[in-house]
Chains A and B, each alone.
Chain A
């Protein structure tokens, strides 16, 4: 079985696969697609069609991820299953918990371990804040907090998350999710084959 994984979750997904001994190969797509969701569906389709020639089954390690249904259309066309929910945040934290965060503070900016680790590349550089730091408040002026959905919060990541939040001028809340949500969601995807 092949798992097409968003680059932002490919590493933890591979760890879950290894831990469970599932007969699944993880095929990541570039993590920066996270910032260009309009390109996700086409790239998933192309990779799924290619992998479909050499694997008995292909599943999709993306939630909707800002494709607003375009990924579901690809999944329907090709008979693929994907991760549940709108974003990987739902997978890690659960939809109801996320709804509570946003009910409490609509201006909640979410990070995962991947985003914390790659913050300079995936957030600062992609938003042009390295070139135009004056745009910070244009992007984040209405946000009120950073919530880090932490999978493995070691000291290094805690320091990076603190730096990221400070750079945005926002308070940091750490919510330790672990990877149980991801493990459960992946188990549901691969279950028919294991």
Chain B
């Protein structure tokens, strides 16, 4: 296969979520001395963006999103250390977790994949993350953004508990806070004092980028 064939096949096989084939093609591409960034930015990310677009149009559903995301995640496992070696600067560091009392993580994991695909370094704390664990992880990893995810109306109040924990630890102003999840709205995000909210994975990427950009260009008072 030529490099162009590899990119086309990688795009197509990611789109249909053929994880074993995506990994094979990634290896083949690397075997042809293709740059990891080329595989990522010219095949994997465009394919996942197409998955997102089809989802928004109603042509794809959650299973198709997940299966494509898993395929890309498999390739990313292989590419991540290579990308790190190349010294490509990440857009920013994003710390993510589902709040305490909530085990739902499908949406969060899709967001993680999209963020990573867009060039963020993602640190995922998993599910049922207690406020003190978020605080400790922020202090350890110094992320640009922390994301709180909740799927249940009964666990959404943990956003406020997390915000209070950040305030108490004196780190609220050091990190951008984004919130999301099925029941979350912009109004709720505003009410708990979050800096950003997005309704889905692709919007999260756009919002995260704009929040980081705004923070970096902000002139200190």
Contact = CB atoms under 8 A, between A and B. Distances in A.
B182 A68 contact: yes
A102 B154 contact: yes
B60 to A, nearest CB: 11
Interface string B99-133: 00111111001000000000000000001100000
Nearest to A103: B101
A170 B181 CA distance: 25
B64 interface: yes
A143 B61 CA distance: 22
Given A66-B182, A68-B182, A143 B63 contact: no
Q: Which size class do A's interface residues fall under?
A: 10 to 19
Interface stretch (A5-13, A125-133, A157-165): A125-133
A185 interface: no
Interface in A56-111: 64, 66, 68, 86, 99, 102, 106-107
Interface residues of B, number: 22
Interface of B: 17, 61-64, 66-67, 70, 101-106, 109, 127-128, 153-154, 182-183, 185
27 contacts: A64-B153, A68-B153, A68-B182, A68-B185, A102-B101, A106-B101, A106-B102, A106-B103, A107-B103, A127-B62, A127-B63, A128-B62, A128-B64, A128-B66, A128-B67, A132-B66, A132-B67, A135-B63, A135-B66, A135-B67, A138-B70, A138-B106, A139-B106, A142-B103, A142-B104, A142-B105, A142-B127
